[in-house]
């Protein structure tokens, strides 16, 4: 089964607003990653947060990780129409450096 | 620097036909992956390879075979295609537990 589950499944906001997506996972992790997928394209890596980190920033992206709740959130601030895409979280299965599983994703639509 | 290259980009097969999807990476990564993505769903891992000469089953391996030809190339074979294998297939590579780099995908339709 998939390791991570994103919430919500779909999110629609206006340009300039913030978008928050959540990811829950089932087992212990070494790190958690977020990816973006534009329609019909391959996934692009956004950010990696390690299990001993609680928060990480990259430009307009802010990722938090709560290992006690087995959850992570991705915040996109001051969203733009170009942020319209699907966003996925991914984790490696426990004790396996190469088995990476993805959640079902959040479809974000940013209206101009 | 091309990254991860998949061929073909599109393919239509008849039920029962076979084909091989090709994937090559130029980043000297040890790990390579094949995923499938169905409409409205995330990526599901078919097979992965931790290093040249090794392959392991992922979440949905049935109906597929893989070959890690060398460090650069990882191919996915459908021996007898079925309509349930209609999907978009993505190849990816990474270092262990690291950021994955994806190809642009192969859209496969089995009729």
Per-residue confidence (pLDDT) for residue A6, from 0 to 100: 83
Per-residue confidence (pLDDT) for residue A1, from 0 to 100: 43
Chain A neighbors of B44, CB-CB under 8 A: 2, 102
Per-residue confidence (pLDDT) for residue A94, from 0 to 100: 78
B94 pLDDT higher than 60: yes
Give the residue, B97 or A71, on which the prediction is more confident.
A71
The torsion defined by the Cα of A103, B34, B27 and B6, in degrees rounded to 10, comes to -120
pLDDT tens for A53-65 read 999 999 999 999 9
Report the C-alpha gap between A105 and A103 in whole angstroms. Answer: 5
Q: Are strands B106-110 and B10-13 parallel, antiparallel or unpaired?
A: parallel
Chain A neighbors of B104, CB-CB under 8 A: 41-42
A52 pLDDT higher than 70: yes
Per-residue confidence (pLDDT) for residue A70, from 0 to 100: 94
**B-contacting residues in A 3-42 (Cβ below 8 Å):** 6, 30-31, 33, 35, 40-42
DSSP chain A: --SEEEE-SEEEEETTS-EEEEEEESS--SEEEEEEE-TTS-EEEEEEEETT-SEEEETTEEEEEETTTTEEEEEE-S--GGG-EEEEEEEEPTT-SS-EEE---EEEEEE-
Per-residue confidence (pLDDT) for residue A58, from 0 to 100: 95
Per-residue confidence (pLDDT) for residue B1, from 0 to 100: 61
Nearest by CB to residue A102, choosing from B42, B98, B104, is B42
Per-residue confidence (pLDDT) for residue A20, from 0 to 100: 97
Report the C-alpha gap between B11 and B106 in whole angstroms. Answer: 7
Per-residue confidence (pLDDT) for residue B69, from 0 to 100: 87
pLDDT tens for B15-51 read 999 999 999 999 999 999 999 999 878 899 999 999 9
Nearest by CB to residue A42, choosing from B56, B96, B104, is B104
Mean pLDDT of chain A: 92
pLDDT tens for A23-39 read 999 888 889 999 999 98
Report the C-alpha gap between A53 and A35 in whole angstroms. Answer: 18
Give SS3 for B34.
strand
pLDDT tens for B40-87 read 788 999 999 999 999 999 999 999 999 998 999 999 999 999 999 999
A2 pLDDT higher than 50: no
Residue of B33, B41, B48, B97 to mutate when probing chain A, most A C-beta within 10 A: B97
Q: Does B64 touch chain A (CB under 8 A)?
A: no
Mean pLDDT of chain B: 95
């Amino acid at each position: 089964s998939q390791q991570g589950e994103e919430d919500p499944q779909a999110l629609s906001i206006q340009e300039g607003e913030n978008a928050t997506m959540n990811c829950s996972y089932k087992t212990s992790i070494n790190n958690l990653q977020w990816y973006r997928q534009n329609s019909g394209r391959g996934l692009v890596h956004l950010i990696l947060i390690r299990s001993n980190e609680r928060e990480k920033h990259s430009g307009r992206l802010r990722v938090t990780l709560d290992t006690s709740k087995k959850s992570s959130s991705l915040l996109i601030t001051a969203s733009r129409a170009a942020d319209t895409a699907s966003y996925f979280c991914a984790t490696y299965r426990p004790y396996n450096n190469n088995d990476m599983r993805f959640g079902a994703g959040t479809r974000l639509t940013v209206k101009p | 620097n091309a990254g991860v290259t998949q061929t073909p980009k599109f393919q239509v097969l008849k039920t029962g036909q076979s084909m091989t999807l090709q994937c090559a990476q130029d980043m000297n990564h040890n790990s390579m992956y094949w995923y499938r993505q169905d409409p409205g769903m995330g990526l599901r891992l078919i097979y992965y390879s931790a290093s040249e000469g090794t392959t392991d089953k992922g979440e949905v391996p049935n109906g597929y075979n893989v070959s890690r030809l060398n460090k650069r190339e990882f191919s996915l074979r459908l021996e007898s295609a079925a309509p349930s294998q209609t999907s978009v297939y993505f190849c990816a590579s990474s270092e262990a537990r690291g950021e994955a780099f994806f190809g642009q995908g192969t859209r496969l339709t089995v009729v």
